[in-house]
Structure formats: C-alpha cells, structure tokens
Amino acid sequence: MVKTYTMDLAGRTLSVEIGKVGKQANGCAFMRYGDTTVLSTATASDKPRDGIDFFPLSVEFEEKMYSVGKIPGGFNKREGKASENSVLTSRVIDRPMRPLFPKDYRNDVTLNNMVMSVDPACRPELVAMLGAAIATAISDIPFDGPCAMTQIGMKDGEFIVNPSQKEWAEGDLKLTVASTATKVIMIEAGANEIPEAKMIEAIYKAHEVNQTIIAFINQMVAEIGKPKHSYTSCAIPEEMFAKIKEIVPPSEMEVAVFTDEKQVREENIKKITEKLEEAFADNEEWLAILGEAIYQYEKKTVRKMILKDHKRPDGREITQIRPLAAEVDLIPRVHGSAMFTRGQTQICDVCTLAPLSEAQKVDGIDENVTTKRYMHHYNFPSYSVGETKPSRGPGRREIGHGALAERALLPVLPSTEEFPYAIRCVSETFESNGSTSMASTCASCMSLMAAGVPIKKMVAGISCGLVTGDTDDDFVLLTDIQGLEDFFGDMDFKVTGTTDGITAIQMDIKIHGLTRPIVEGAIARCREARLFIMDTCMKPAIAKPRETVNEYAPKIVQITIDPEKIGDVVGQKGKTINEIIARTGVKIDITDDGAVAVCGTDKAMIEKAIEMIKMIVTDFEEGQIFQGKVVSIKEFGAFIEFAPGKEGMVHISKIAKERINHVEDVLTLGDTVTVVCLGKDKMGRISFSMKDVAQK
C-alpha cells in the first residue's frame, strides 16, 4: 500500500511517500521538499554483532552528482569517497539519533540517505535529516523517537526557518537543532558573533518548529508504523555487578578513578581488572563481558561522586579549568605556529599562507560553495592517547573536529581584498585528554596571528559537560571536561566565540534531551570560560596579529586593472603571463573583475612583475620613456620589447643623431636600450625613438 503524507514546512510543501520504493528495508521514506528529493532508508541486522561493547550504527549521506546535473570530476566519472560535506552531514544525523536507540542494542543499523535531486531553495541536508528520522520511526527497529530537525538562518537580525542554499551560505547564522517532543537533543551552529541571548532565541525557535514536524511524524507512525521487534539484550547481569562490588567495594573503585593523572587511573583500573579476571577465571560467560562491566562500574562511580558530592576525578571545582599554557613560534621556518595546552590536552597548530590559486576546489551539490579559501585540518595520532596503531588517514571524527575549528574562525578572517591569501591551519594533537577540538580552536587563533593574518578578533573555545540525576532539575554542569567526564557524562557542549558573541557550537549528548535551563547554563558557562582563557593564557602569548607576514611566507601585492585588459596580460594561450612568471619567478592570480595578485618571496621581483603588468595595460602616450630589449632587426629599423608581449619599432632614422646605413652598425640582438614613445605609426604600431630620449 502506497501512502503519501504532506505538511507545510516554512512555506514549502514537505512530502513523504511510504510503500512505493525500498520495500525490503525495515523503514523507507521517499522525501520531497520543494524539488529536493532524498531516499532515506533504515535497516537493521537480525542478530547482534558478536564481540562488541557499542551500538554499531552507520549513517550515510550520499551526494549523487546527477542531482545537480553534473558529471563527477576525475578519471572515474562516478561518485567515490564521501566528500567532507557528506561526512559532516552524516555526523549531524548520527548525533541526535544514536542516544534514542536502546543502550543495550547491538544489532547493526544503517541509515542511508541518497540525494537524488536538489532544489536550491530546499537544502538536501535538512531533507536527509528528516528522512532518516521518519524512516527509523516507522520501521520495526527499536527507537525512542520520533525526533525532528530544523535549520535556522539569519539576515539583518531576522531568523529564516529552513533557509535556501544561498541564504544559508550568505547569512549570519547556520544553526541546526534536533528535538524530541519535549527536549533539545542536538545543536550545531556556525555564526558571525551572535550574542548568547540571540542564539538561545534561535535554538528555541527551531525547537518550536520541530514540534510541528514531530506531530506530523506521529501521525505516520500511528497509521503505518511497524511494531518494534524484540532483540537480544547485551546488558550486564545484575548478579555480576553485585559480585564485582563484593570483590571491589565502591570505596576501592573511587580511589582508583579519582586522580588527575590519566596514566595512573588506567594503571589502577588495570590492577582491578586483573583482580576480577582471577576471581572469574572459571566463568567464561562473565569473563567475556568483564571489560564492559568494569566500564559500567567505573561510570556509575564517577557519576555518583560528581552528582552527589560535586567531586570531580581530578579534584577540580565544577567551574574550574585545568592548568593553561600557550606559546607561539615554536616551529622554525613555517609561516606561523602556536601550541595550546589545557591539562593533558595539547595541540600544536601550524599556519601556511599561499596565493589564492591554492584555495581548495569543492566539487559538490551546493553550487554556492565551489572553493574554500580557509582550510583547517585536524590530526589525532595514536601516541596522543598512549596507544599504538598505524595511521590510516583522517576518519570521520578528525574531519568533524577540523570542520568545527574551521567554522569557529571563519567569521574573524579578513576578506580577500584585505588579505589576498589562501590559508591552511593544521592542528597536530600532541596529547589528548578531553576536547582537543576546542584546544585546536585556541591554537589555530594564535597561529593565525603569529603568521600575520589580520584576524578581526581573538577566538577561543571550551567544552561544558553534564551529569544528570533522576529528575530534570537534578544535574551538574562541568566546565572543561576531561576524557573520563566525556566518556561517563551525558553531554559534550562545545562553544567557541569572541568577546562579543558565538562563532560555533557543537553539542553531543547521550541522554534523551536537554532542558532549557541546561542549555542556557552551558552557553553561559562556556562564555565565562572562553573569556578567562583569552585573558589569562592566549593574550599573554600573543595579543594581536603581527603587522607583517612571516619572513618565510610568500608576499602578495594586489593591484587592479581594467577587466578589458586581462587578455593583454594573459596573452595568446597564456604566453605573456607565463613570460612574466618566467622572468620574475612570481605567481600571478587574476580575477574576472581585474584584481591582480602577484605573489613571491623576492620583493624586487614582485615589483618588477607589477611594473611589467602596468606597462602592458597602460594606454601609451607620446613622450613616455621605456627601457626595452632589441628582439628583432630589420633593414628599416629594430623592434624593441619593453614588456612581455609588448613591442614597438625604432625606425633606422630614429636610432642615432647621425645618419647610419645599417641598423647593425649600432644595435645587436639582446641589447637593452632606452626609448621614447612617439605615438603610433600608420600601421597602428607603437613607434619609438632612441635619438630623442635626451630631449625628453
């Protein structure tokens, strides 16, 4: 049976078709919003995966290039590795939905979202988010939903619900909020220094819209939703927990976990594990799940001490930030470098500057984003957490952390007119024990300033954690969470910003949503902490951007020419511009509006290249004096090249004051001579004189 459901969503029709396609999936929703079309499916395995202690959820956002009438680039001409946008969208769908599945569920679940058509007025990412939620809600997969997602943009201080691709790209706010019927469960934002109060208003505007979508989904679930299937629980048996507590009393576990040294804590847990392995040597069933049982025991111990006694594992107060340190210029010869340390979290960031031609080209389904001038990359090697494993390149987590720090700094970067450089920051994780993405933001900000990038304001970031009790008003917020508090807590609420407002938010939770007091409290706590970090740590290391770029960075000088003269500078098949580059060793970028950026490390060569370009685009007048090279000798005179691709002729009668019979009597090929312009001859060629130079 085919059923179609529709609703008005922000002035456009959202249509969901059920039962027409994807019938073998556990749940399938054929989504249309405007002309944007996404096929969302939810599938689950029949049995749990053996030997794992986590919920194996996979979320995919597939960008099909035919959706925007393109053939993929490259040799293969087919979609390959997921783009950065695909990875980030998949993460945004994953984060709110994962906590709504049962905690003891170990069946593989895949949420696939295939973008088949893109209407620029209706963002496909939003449609995929809603499609994944609907497909799961109507399926037989255990899920404590439904949930819904709304995006909020802003222009001239006014909110735009579910903005178009263009409005999203050009607006002052890029906010995505997911909600259940009662609480906010996910926040992701990029913003141009939005004040905290305005951000909270936008969050709850989205939450309000989400309630209308949830009512729409509930209608579908009531009419066509499948009964949820039963599953094999992987919960730890209560009798096992009781036995563990007999062998390792809670007081012993408290002593083991409450230390500010991660390595000491791990050694303590290792000793407890060995003790329990010996005690359960004859019970293979319990031995198989002992690791998960110890993890749960450790988690309950930490949560109880934080919630009831406000005691943190490392002894800090709930609002206290770990010891901070910052320095710049620790790496020689790079264009900019900085290191930021917060407790056992340490990031070294290196900034590289290059001509705008080095900007990253983006081949995707959003035609408003074709290049990236600022790139932030984040690396997380195994040694940073004391482990050993081979590097396999960046995973989804690394891409997500890099994108968050990138989003945090974008609002304060200078325009290309002010600073005509492509910029790449790389954050290397030296040590990790909680919120390396926020440390990356702080380190990148300092690295940019050290490189001489004239950012408008300083940006810092911090993460706020949460431990909740049995009621909505029983909770504790934790400033600057370390790894243990992240693993065992309920929330990782990251906020970056300047002194004036928020530039980025990313919120992950493990529970079924946050109340408004928690959201408001976390945002306020993060503001207080980031201002403290800037004032006490970052500003003493480097208070403002350096006046000039680093000595090893390329120097760029920008001039503007008449757009109609661009062809003269480029020359036939690029001959003229390549000649300038060959002679001076510079790089030259020219935009369609006539902006010319000349980049090099030798100031004299940059000036020489600019002089050549100016000569080429100048409309010559009688009386102008030039230096040029003899490139051709004829019986009637010589041709002088005074700029790449630009030549004029000196008639034999204009070479010397006295009469000469042959040009070769005075000139040879390659001679450098000074000439004065006489205007243009009858054939339209520039005419020069050597003998009249002195008179000018």
The per-residue pLDDT for 614 is 85
DSSP states of 231-295 as a string? ----PPPHHHHHHHHHHS-HHHHHHHH--S-HHHHHHHHHHHHHHHHHHTTT-HHHHHTHHHHHH
pLDDT for 221 beyond 60: yes
Return the half-sphere exposure (C-beta side, CA atoms, 13 A cut-off) of residue 392: 5
Give the end-to-end CA distance of the chain in Å, rounded to a whole number: 93
- 555-617 has which CATH code? 3.30.1370.10
pLDDT for 344 beyond 80: yes
Distance CA 453, CA 376 (A): 14
Distance CA 403, CA 496 (A): 13
The per-residue pLDDT for 484 is 87
Q: How many CB atoms lie within 10 A of CB 601?
A: 13
The number of helix segments (H) and strand segments (E) in the chain equals: 17, 29
Does domain 238-309 correspond to CATH entry 1.10.10? yes
Question: Residue 504: CB partners within 8 Å, gap ≥ 6?
Answer: 189, 190, 191, 404, 407, 408, 441, 461, 494, 495, 496, 497
pLDDT for 157 beyond 80: yes
Cβ burial of 622 (10 Å; 0-12, 13-18, 19+) is: exposed
pLDDT for 696 beyond 60: no
**Of 52-56, 109-113, 446-450, the least confident:** 52-56
The per-residue pLDDT for 695 is 59
Name the CATH code of domain 625-689 (choices 1.20.1250.20, 2.40.50.140, 3.30.70.20, 2.60.40.1220): 2.40.50.140
Residue pair 475/459 in contact by the 8 Å Cβ criterion: no
DSSP states of 346-358 as a string? EEEEEEEEEEGGG
Residue pair 257/484 in contact by the 8 Å Cβ criterion: yes
Q: Which tens digits make up the pLDDT trace of 314-336?
A: 889 999 999 999 999 999 999 99
pLDDT for 29 beyond 90: yes
The per-residue pLDDT for 593 is 86
pLDDT for 688 beyond 80: yes
Distance CA 294, CA 306 (A): 18
Distance CA 643, CA 353 (A): 30
SS3 576: helix
The per-residue pLDDT of the chain, averaged, comes to 92
Superfamily of domain 324-541: GHMP Kinase, N-terminal domain (3.30.230.70)
Distance CA 579, CA 33 (A): 52
Residue 117, CA distances (Å) to 44, 67, 70, 79, 270 in order = 26, 4, 11, 15, 53
Residue 191, CA distances (Å) to 170, 201, 407, 523 in order = 11, 14, 8, 14
Q: Which tens digits make up the pLDDT trace of 532-573?
A: 999 999 999 999 999 999 989 999 988 888 898 898 889 888
pLDDT for 617 beyond 70: yes
The per-residue pLDDT for 50 is 87
Residue pair 504/461 in contact by the 8 Å Cβ criterion: yes
Q: Which residues pair with 598 in a beta bridge?
A: 557, 588
Distance CA 640, CA 354 (A): 35
Token pair, residue 298, equals 């450790």
Over residues 388-413, mean pLDDT: 93
Distance CA 90, CA 432 (A): 24
Superfamily of domain 3-224: GHMP Kinase, N-terminal domain (3.30.230.70)
Over residues 131-153, mean pLDDT: 97
| Alpha helix (H) residue ranges in 19-82 | none
The per-residue pLDDT for 641 is 87
Closest CA to 352 of 371, 333, 380: 333
Q: Do domains 3-224 and 324-541 have the same CATH topology?
A: yes
Return the domain boundaries, the chain. 3-224, 238-309, 324-541, 555-617, 625-689
Q: Which tens digits make up the pLDDT trace of 668-687?
A: 898 989 898 888 777 777 88
Over residues 458-477, mean pLDDT: 94
Residue pair 85/366 in contact by the 8 Å Cβ criterion: yes
The per-residue pLDDT for 259 is 81
pLDDT for 1 beyond 90: no
The per-residue pLDDT for 446 is 98
pLDDT for 249 beyond 60: yes
Residue pair 119/163 in contact by the 8 Å Cβ criterion: no
- Exposure letters 321-331 (e unless 16+ CB within 10 A, then b): bbebebbbbeb
Query: Of all residues in the chain, what percent are helix, strand and coil, respectively (each to 5)?
Result: 35, 30, 35
SS3 471: coil
Distance CA 474, CA 259 (A): 25
pTM to 2 decimals? Answer: 0.88
Phi, psi of 277 (to 5 degrees): -60, -40
pLDDT band at 694 (very low <50, low <70, confident <90, very high): low
**Of 36-40, 259-263, 301-305, the least confident:** 259-263
Closest CA to 158 of 207, 205, 209, 208: 205
The per-residue pLDDT for 571 is 87
Taking the mean position of all CA atoms in its chain, how far away is CA 239? Answer: 47
pLDDT for 79 beyond 70: yes
Could you say which DSSP state residue 324 is in? E
Query: Which amino acid type is present at position 319?
Result: T
Over residues 182-206, mean pLDDT: 97
The per-residue pLDDT for 643 is 80
The per-residue pLDDT for 439 is 97
Question: Residue 261: CB partners within 8 Å, gap ≥ 6?
Answer: none
